Chain A
Amino acid sequence: EAGVVQSPRYKIIEKKQPVAFWCNPISGHNTLYWYLQNLGQGPELLIRYENEEAVDDSQLPKDRFSAERLKGVDSTLKIQPAELGDSAVYLCASSHGQYNEQFFGPGTRLTVL
């Protein structure tokens, strides 16, 4: 069984530029999560999807961040415009229902210059 797939693995951009991250969850997992992980810290939830519905986006900075999961499978997280403080690893995870083990992808390491 393939794990959670994310791309790109690394991204370097200049501040004020837009950037997008893509996630393909484990087949059959209806719950999808985007996390932010700063260096030396634990992951912090940005948004959680149940199928195509965003059921918890309370931690998503909506002035510059957006996400979508149009068909309830793949998801895209976008930042526009990026700021220096956005440099971090963006992790995608999926689970079969919200009460079960979350499987993480390898993450996208974003560097904003």
Chain B
Amino acid sequence: GENVEQHPSTLSVQEGDSAVIKCTYSDSASNYFPWYKQELGKRPQLIIDIRSNVGEKKDQRIAVTLNKTAKHFSLHITETQPEDSAVYFCAEFDSSYKLIFGSGTRLLVRP
């Protein structure tokens, strides 16, 4: 079946530094790629998404890039803050209208 590979599984950065999380997918027909943030014991919440007709999207300190040819997309967080610490999941909306999630990246921002 379809799957999404996400790297790294854990990421520790100093406050103020940037963090990058990368995902690759297999379904070439996928056209929607959301990113979710999940704090400990809480629900996943959408932080940014990108559709296949654009290569990059930015929202304040968060940006996502998409390379459809290589079938990979990345999340970039600049000027990280302690409240950015959480687990981040990438996902692809595949050709069977199913949202397939990556395995998650645990981000720790050290004060």
Residues on A lying within 8 angstroms of B by beta carbon are: 4, 33, 40-45, 48, 56, 91, 98-99, 101-107
Beta-carbon contact of A42 and B42 below 8 Å:
no
How many angstroms from the CA of A107 to the CA of B39 in the assembled complex?
13
When distances are taken between beta carbons in the complex, the residues of chain B under 8 Å from A45 are 98-99
The count of chain B contact residues (Cβ–Cβ below 8 Å) is 21
Tell me if B46 counts as interface (CB < 8 A to partner A): yes
Query: Which chain B residues have a beta carbon within 8 Å of chain A's beta carbons?
Result: 6, 32, 34, 36, 42-46, 49, 89, 91, 93, 96-99, 101-104
- Beta-carbon contact of A91 and B49 below 8 Å: no
Name the prevailing secondary structure of the A interface residues: loop
Chain A nearest CB, measured from B97 CB (Å): 5
Contact B44 A41, beta carbon cutoff 8 Å = no
- A104 lies within 8 A of B49 (CB): no
- Residue pair A56, B96 in contact (C-beta under 8 Å): yes
**Cα-based distance from A33 to B101 in the complex (angstroms):** 14
Question: CA of A107 to CA of B45 in the docked complex: distance in angstroms?
Answer: 12
A45-B99, A56-B98, A101-B34 given; A40·B43 CB < 8 A: no
